[in-house]
Amino acid sequence: MTSSNSLAYRGIKITLIILMAMGLTIASLRYKQPAHCETLCRDAQSCQIGQCMFGEQQAGFPLSFVQDTEANSPTSGWGKVGPEDYFYANLEAFALNVAFYSLILWLFQRLLKWLFSSFQT
């Protein structure tokens, strides 16, 4: 392989890893903590199972990068993360999650490469 082909191959591989990591980061929005927020919990009462306070529910893994915002949610979405909260995502945490998943994917492809090379010899 010439040096320009090798460089192009590496660039494509890095791009694919980053795109897959972004997909995994977006898929991690399904991980919400606390998990079951159905109704809003008022300050004066103690929260029961299925109730959350404003801003308590967060989404994303390993770092939460979307949080329930108080001001912009419709009344039916108070106390839980919804599509309207995605516009106010923490981009630094999003970038760190992409870096985390990129590292995991890179290590996984290196492991596969090592395993296949050890079986061929």
**pLDDT at residue 27 above 90?**
yes
Across 53-63, average pLDDT = 86
**pLDDT at residue 50 above 70?**
yes
Question: Six-digit token pair at 22?
Answer: 């972004």
Torsion of CA 73, 78, 81, 86, to 10 degrees: 10
Q: What is the pLDDT of residue 12?
A: 94
Cα 11-17-20 angle, rounded to 5 deg: 140
CA dist list (Å): 9 to 5, 54, 74, 78, 93:
6, 48, 47, 47, 29
Higher pLDDT, 57 or 102: 102
Structure-token match 């306070």, residue found: 53
**pLDDT at residue 91 above 60?**
yes
Q: What is the pLDDT of residue 97?
A: 98
Across 69-91, average pLDDT = 77
Band of residue 17 on the pLDDT scale cut at 50, 70, 90:
very high
Q: What percent of the chain has pLDDT over 70?
A: 88
H-helix segments, the chain: 3-27, 91-120
